[in-house]
Chain A
């Protein structure tokens, strides 16, 4: 996805203090608004995966192509019927939505493992990597962004900006490949590829999580640092900052206490948006570092045309992202009194 962070939050927040009932009404309105979005998402994913050429039936019968079985209506129809793929797409969509509403996300077309259990197996790894990436990048990039803004257009600013832009100029897989390959070439050692869960071996597990988190963190840091700098610059122009300065407050205090708090608000919003990008980035890190995470499952399921799994992942991720965004916007309201919802 383009590296452009969304500089403006773009959300429709009306500045008007509404109090607690106002907030509750806002949350309710947003939750209700999520339902059509969610239906649209499910429609998109059910439809789109079925548009991809080649289905599981084609895969299952591919070695019988020349013999005509491939074309033979009977065989194909039998397999399609067994897998529920012979009905029109909108029927499949309706059935799927009904199933999801009851909490049933279906089963893998290949080995009938329940989609929910499959995803539950994979989420922890991806979530842990993402969490470590976010935490490290926040600790690194926010100070960088602040310093950059405060010392705008100075050599320090140029240096810090260069470093952080470098982070989003080098493709993630290149960084990941370098981490894996170069130690092997130089010293004959590399990261471990044998997966152990946290319960089995906490230290070993953490050692698996850190390299991919670093790769993702570098890219995330770059975006967040840039955005922090921009927001800080904006905020530092504001009248109330000038007033504080005129009143004689110390600069560091101004920066941290007044400016930073307000500048961070859109940053938090953007972090919410970046979560979906993290899932995309995790596809690459999970492939290189051999982690059994959600990203890899998504890509391999698309390759295997395992519709229920792909649908399940998209649906659950979407719910998560929307709830996260709602939480962020609600906290936006609490943090910035000017931005309470109507």
Chain B
């Protein structure tokens, strides 16, 4: 990730490399294992990489990203589906996907598989001194040709405005609570950003922040033109950005259509003329829509849907990888038994992770301890699988050990432990199934333990007890932030924004504090290694079931997805629609 770029100025060579890669427009050309150029690459066409049966369990799939061959057919309309139209249109305060993923663009881009930083709107990024960062903005970026911008240049002033806004510095001015700026942690410690000249931005920090560059790669911090606060964030039809597509039609729950931005700063992109969204709230109907050819892409597939689609549409291509979403059961340390590390450790040893994740996903998921395996500094699934508790071969011994721990803690066979798991009872999600499997497992291993399930019918009613910490255990799935320190800080730091279980350990906090200001990569990696070790031995603040698989299918005549497939391609699998194109089939 940040290996070369920290600890000093960026070399001229890497700057040029950055520009060069960007200019080719085929940023995926150097992908490992897949060959993503239009002319060469592996023989492709049909989906490669068998799902599941022969893969060692829980080690995740290697990336499956078939290259589609064929003569490009420029233009066309690409249709994707979503379950409802977006309700929030301000990307820096929005909770979820919003139109800026399509009409906006980010400062920096991750390599989808390795998470290495690649230039995008920002062509270079350097640490001038520990609390000063300098960025260069790509010249010649134009905003969409619509009022009031009319294609004006997007400059360092816009970038500076975005950085300050993302960091929540305008909260008071805009009369919006600082907490609304959900991604402020991506640019933590920012005190000022200013445009030194039209292509240079200088950022001042209150303390060093080793996560800043990674943070800018998060899908949820795209840049917008600086007039947007005056225009307001309520009407999508008034929104213009610098992205590959611009808004063409918007009617809530009816139409979300975009058209090609002819002045997009990446040459030869986008290829499609139109990028349209069909709104289909029901999952079964969405699968039917893909099979009948009404949509060109479908994501978040489970094994059964894949099998069905392959039967009726054999030429569709499957892309799969380990996702940055990870499933977990989070205990609250406010519930007395969970304060005891022995109890926490006992449960960790007793859970059969494979049974739960295999049960819902079949294959393709990956073992995870503290950090999602997509992070370069994270333990890979094979390593996690070899540890006690995770290792399927030692399960019996681990469970015996768990019994001993519980007895030592005063809860023989789980007697005296009585808790409820809260979860969101939305059909099609993993929560109800994860909970039922977990409950059955624990009841089998600790017959006197009492576990109840408390479902909530919708997100709003579920978010109240979770956010308040008003639970004994919660079942949830979380998307990893693009930087390991940001991730660990939000989840486990005392008072961390996602630390719903209120876990608190001085040593953990101290470790994170150190890592956050450690600008030397090797040292930082060493700290994260220490973190991961202590996570599974001394702290055990969370039961991570695993990283889920991401599976996307595209219609057979769509090419280019292989260059964008991978863990770090975003929150929403469609943010790189500019790189895909139709081929003659």
Contact = CB atoms under 8 A, between A and B. Distances in A.
The answer on direct contact between A and B (beta carbons under 8 Å) is: yes
Interface of A: 52-56, 58-72, 74-76, 78-79, 82, 110-113, 118, 121-122, 177, 180-181, 184-185, 188-190, 192-195, 287-290, 292, 296-297, 300, 302-305
Contacts of A188: 291-292, 312-313
Given A63-B95, A63-B497, A112 B234 contact: yes
B255 A65 contact: no
A70 B286 CA distance: 35
Given A68-B495, A190-B288, A62 B463 contact: yes
A65 B313 contact: no
Contacts of B502: 66
Contacts of B182: 63-64
A110 B284 contact: no
Given A82-B175, A290-B285, 5 more contacts: A59-B95, A66-B502, A287-B282, A288-B284, A303-B458
Contacts of A52: 460-461
Contacts of A79: 177, 180
Interface of B: 79, 81, 84, 87-89, 95, 175-180, 182, 234-235, 251-255, 278-282, 284-289, 291-292, 294, 308, 312-313, 458-464, 466-469, 490, 495-502
Contacts of A177: 284
Q: Which 7 A-B pairs have the closest CB atoms?
A: A65-B467, A66-B499, A54-B460, A69-B179, A75-B177, A62-B463, A67-B497
A113 B252 contact: yes
Given A193-B285, A287-B282, A58 B313 contact: no
B285 A304 contact: no
Contacts of A288: 282, 284-285
11 contacts: A54-B460, A62-B95, A66-B469, A66-B497, A111-B89, A122-B253, A184-B291, A193-B81, A193-B278, A193-B286, A287-B281
Nearest to B313: A188
A195 B285 contact: no
Nearest to B311: A185
Nearest to A59: B460
Nearest to A290: B280
Contacts of B251: 121, 292
B254 A54 contact: no
Given A67-B495, A181-B288, A121 B252 contact: yes
Contacts of B469: 65-66
B497 A65 contact: yes
Contact of B252 (A55, A65, A118): A118
Q: Which residue of B89, B182, B292 has the most chain A CB atoms within 10 A of its CB atom?
A: B292
A110 B498 contact: no
A74 B313 CA distance: 54
A296 B253 contact: yes
Given A66-B497, A190-B288, A300-B84, A121 B461 contact: no
Nearest to B253: A292
B276 to A, nearest CB: 8
A185 B304 CA distance: 13
Contacts of B234: 111-113
Contact of B254 (A74, A195, A300): A195
B255 A75 contact: no
Nearest to A60: B180
B179 A59 contact: no
B280 A59 contact: no
Contacts of B501: 66
Contacts of B176: 78
B83 to A, nearest CB: 9
A292 B254 contact: yes
Q: Which residue of B464, B500, B502 has the most chain A CB atoms within 10 A of its CB atom?
A: B464
B479 to A, nearest CB: 10
Given A63-B498, A67-B495, A113-B252, A304 B468 contact: no
A58 B458 CA distance: 13
A190 B292 contact: yes
Contact of B496 (A67, A82, A292): A67
A74 B177 CA distance: 8
A69 B495 CA distance: 9
Contact of A304 (B87, B287, B496): B87
Given A63-B182, A287-B281, A303 B460 contact: yes
A190 B295 CA distance: 12
Contacts of A185: 308, 312
Contacts of B462: 54
A60 B81 CA distance: 25
A303 B497 CA distance: 24
Given A121-B254, A193-B289, A65 B500 contact: yes
Contacts of B495: 66-68
A144 B507 CA distance: 78
A255 to B, nearest CB: 44
A55 B288 contact: no
Nearest to A197: B254
Contacts of B253: 122, 292, 296-297, 300
Contacts of B463: 54, 58-59, 62, 65
B301 to A, nearest CB: 15
B285 A289 contact: yes
A305 B177 CA distance: 20
A71 B87 contact: no
B497 A59 contact: no
A58 B467 contact: yes
B179 A190 contact: no
B291 A190 contact: yes
B89 A61 contact: no
Contacts of A74: 177
Contacts of B79: 194
Nearest to B494: A66
Contacts of B89: 111
A288 B427 CA distance: 14
B499 to A, nearest CB: 3
B280 A72 contact: no
A195 to B, nearest CB: 5
Given A288-B285, A292-B254, A64 B291 contact: no
A110 B292 CA distance: 34
Contacts of A305: 460
Contacts of A112: 234
Contact of A66 (B177, B255, B287, B496): B496
Nearest to A107: B234
A68 B494 CA distance: 10
Given A78-B175, A193-B280, A288-B285, A65 B466 contact: yes
Contacts of B179: 61, 64, 67, 69-70, 72, 75
A110 B88 CA distance: 7
B498 A60 contact: no
B150 to A, nearest CB: 25
Nearest to B255: A195
